[in-house]
Chain A
Amino acid sequence: MADTANKTLDPRLNRRGFLKGCTMAAAALGLSETVVPKMVEAATSGQRPPVIWMHFQECTGCSETLLRGAHPDLANLILDIISLDYHETVMAAAGYQAEEALHDSMKKNRGKYIMVVEGSIPTKEDGIYCKVAGKTALDSLNEVAAGAAAIIAIGACATFGGVQAASPNPTGAVGVDKLITDKPIVNIAGCPPNPVNFLGTVLHFMTFNRFPALDQLKRPKFGYGRRIHDHCERRAHFDEGRFVEQFGDEFHQAGYCLYKVGCKGPETFANCPTARFNEMGVWPVSIGHGCIGCTEPAFWDTMTPFYERIPDVNIPGTGIIEDADRLGTQILGVTAAAVGIHAAVGIGKRLIKGKSGSDES
């Protein structure tokens, strides 16, 4: 098995690294290790699924995380099990050559290729805000999606619009599933997502010929089925009411729960506490910073201020942006004043008229 692996795969990827990558993906998927041989078989069958990777409004952070993992085996594995026919930032070709590669692959593999989308798609003004090779992102998306077997949207931008879609969303940026509705779509959410979730999805697709089970927001359940908070190592501190009050205070040093400094773990679905990052067993909360909820829809609008629990209230048309509790207290104060005036008028009237309401009339 191992040697078969090395015939089709990059020789730099050794057997151990390869199996390790597959096992990591299987573990992330929540599959038993008995499927690892099946996965290895699929990954080494030589039938590498052609992948066309499109970049729209984005920072390429997602590609960077995939390719520059601290664990080179993972990156190699991803590049080796798929046939990356088009990827603007990684491919050697440029200009017309690149365009040709794209069209060749689209023609040759029509109906078979996987389309990966990184970045959001601007829709305002017919999408003129993002153009590649003279075509708008909107047109490229529709063209490439038409021949795709399936679509993987990677990153906050391609899934839910990302920072470009943050209010007031000047370019009308949206995620892929707002525009394409007739293809299977998986959302690998996160800014950037954990490479394991992308790899797990691809391996699942290759092994079982379908995508893994998805949640309501099309995120694979193996990676996004559970809240951060329900699997966090600081949860005991939360339950017992021990909180960091301020970054750097004694409670922070003691490793207490980050809830009061705005940790969004209770409302964010992701496997960060279990999958972790950089093969070093770290994730934000483990190093003392709260989760910012990057795998959730509209996180720039709903998870900010990052160091508060809930967003401020924004009353449209008035320019009022205020903390909910401060606003609530103010409204309650105005109500109390109104009630006071109302009662005073009643008492005043009664004193003048010397008569109470309708009861004795």
Chain B
Amino acid sequence: MAYEKKKAWSILLRLYHWAFALSIVALCITGFYIHDPWTNTVAEGSQSFVMTWMRFIHFVAGYVFTGAMLARIFLYIFGNKWERLPEQLPVTPRNIKNFFNTLLRYSYIKDDHDTDRLGHNVLAGMTYVAIIVAAVFQTISGFYLLFPEIGTWEVYGVMIFGSQQYARYIHHLLMWLFMIFAFIHLYLVIWNDIKEPEGLVSAIFTGVKFQHKT
């Protein structure tokens, strides 16, 4: 059977994806270090600024993460058909149908894959929206921790979190959300890649998915 190549993801979406993914890896590792520094510099005056470096990497990665998140929000509004927000949520009969179809497919009850969409299935799309919402909170808490004395961050930080310590607590819990998400995400992407001919994994590099020629 013949396949045709169809363009699904814009270059900005692919850049967003990898900036987001790599920054999350860096942020989780350095974040864990900041929370519980597992090294102990014994030699004093040894020019080893471990904590300083970890925090520096965390903040640089934090800016990359923030940039990526903003790019995704931009694409939710101005992206291509598959990238926009209404495509991700169960707000049309077509999307609601896809949502249930995906649930059945994931529980091995049904096998056929909806062919009327190139973008995410609705379950995945909804999860990604939730992750971007979590990213907004992660960013606000992060910047509030970074710039607690600067007016804007102080105002919103206190309004949303109440105190530095609470912001840190939420920041820490959200880290776990990102890690658990990343784990499930990786599994389901590979699962889909094996089951369907779309080429889900390569699509996030090339932007192209495969569909049956009709």
Residues in A lying within 8 Å of B, measured CB to CB: 215-217, 225-227, 238-243, 245, 251, 259-260, 264, 266-269, 293, 296-299, 302-303, 309-311, 313, 324-325, 327-328, 331-332, 335-336, 339, 342-343, 345-346, 349, 356-361
A residues in contact with B163, CB < 8 Å: 267, 296-298, 302
Q: Which of B61-117 contact A (CB under 8 A)?
A: 106, 108, 111-113
Q: Is residue B50 contacting chain A, with contact meaning CB distance below 8 A?
A: yes
Establish whether residues A241 and B184, one from each chain, have CB atoms under 8 Å apart when the complex forms: no
B residues in contact with A328, CB < 8 Å: 173, 176, 179-180
Establish whether residues A331 and B36, one from each chain, have CB atoms under 8 Å apart when the complex forms: no
B residues in contact with A343, CB < 8 Å: 187, 191
Establish whether residues B196 and A331, one from each chain, have CB atoms under 8 Å apart when the complex forms: no
Establish whether residues A324 and B165, one from each chain, have CB atoms under 8 Å apart when the complex forms: no
Of the candidates B42, B149, B168, B184, the one whose C-beta lies within 8 Å of that of A335 is: B184
Q: How far is the CB of B116 from chain A (nearest CB, A)?
A: 14
**CA A173 to CA B16, docked complex, whole Å:** 47
**CA A61 to CA B168, docked complex, whole Å:** 30
Establish whether residues A359 and B197, one from each chain, have CB atoms under 8 Å apart when the complex forms: yes
Establish whether residues B158 and A217, one from each chain, have CB atoms under 8 Å apart when the complex forms: yes
**CA A360 to CA B154, docked complex, whole Å:** 58
Of the candidates B35, B51, B176, B197, the one whose C-beta lies within 8 Å of that of A240 is: B51
**CA A336 to CA B172, docked complex, whole Å:** 21
Identify which of A251, A336, A342 gathers the most chain B CB atoms within 10 Å of its CB: A342
Q: Is residue B18 contacting chain A, with contact meaning CB distance below 8 A?
A: no
Establish whether residues B180 and A332, one from each chain, have CB atoms under 8 Å apart when the complex forms: yes
Given known A-B contacts A216-B155, A267-B168, A349-B108, A359 and B196 have beta carbons under 8 A apart: yes
A residues in contact with B180, CB < 8 Å: 328, 331-332, 335
**CA A343 to CA B36, docked complex, whole Å:** 34
Q: Which of B143-158 contact A (CB under 8 A)?
A: 148-149, 154-155, 158
A residues in contact with B36, CB < 8 Å: 260, 309, 325
**CA A99 to CA B183, docked complex, whole Å:** 67
**From A250, which residue of chain B is reached at the shortest CB distance?**
B42
Q: How far is the CB of A230 from chain B (nearest CB, A)?
A: 9
Closest 4 CB pairs of A and B: A241-B50, A357-B195, A267-B164, A328-B176
Q: How far is the CB of A305 from chain B (nearest CB, A)?
A: 12
Establish whether residues A339 and B183, one from each chain, have CB atoms under 8 Å apart when the complex forms: yes
Establish whether residues A345 and B108, one from each chain, have CB atoms under 8 Å apart when the complex forms: yes
Given known A-B contacts A336-B183, A349-B108, A302 and B165 have beta carbons under 8 A apart: yes
Establish whether residues A239 and B49, one from each chain, have CB atoms under 8 Å apart when the complex forms: yes
Of the candidates A245, A302, A325, A342, the one whose C-beta lies within 8 Å of that of B40 is: A245
A residues in contact with B37, CB < 8 Å: 241, 243, 259-260
Establish whether residues A324 and B52, one from each chain, have CB atoms under 8 Å apart when the complex forms: no
**From A355, which residue of chain B is reached at the shortest CB distance?**
B111
**CA A238 to CA B50, docked complex, whole Å:** 9
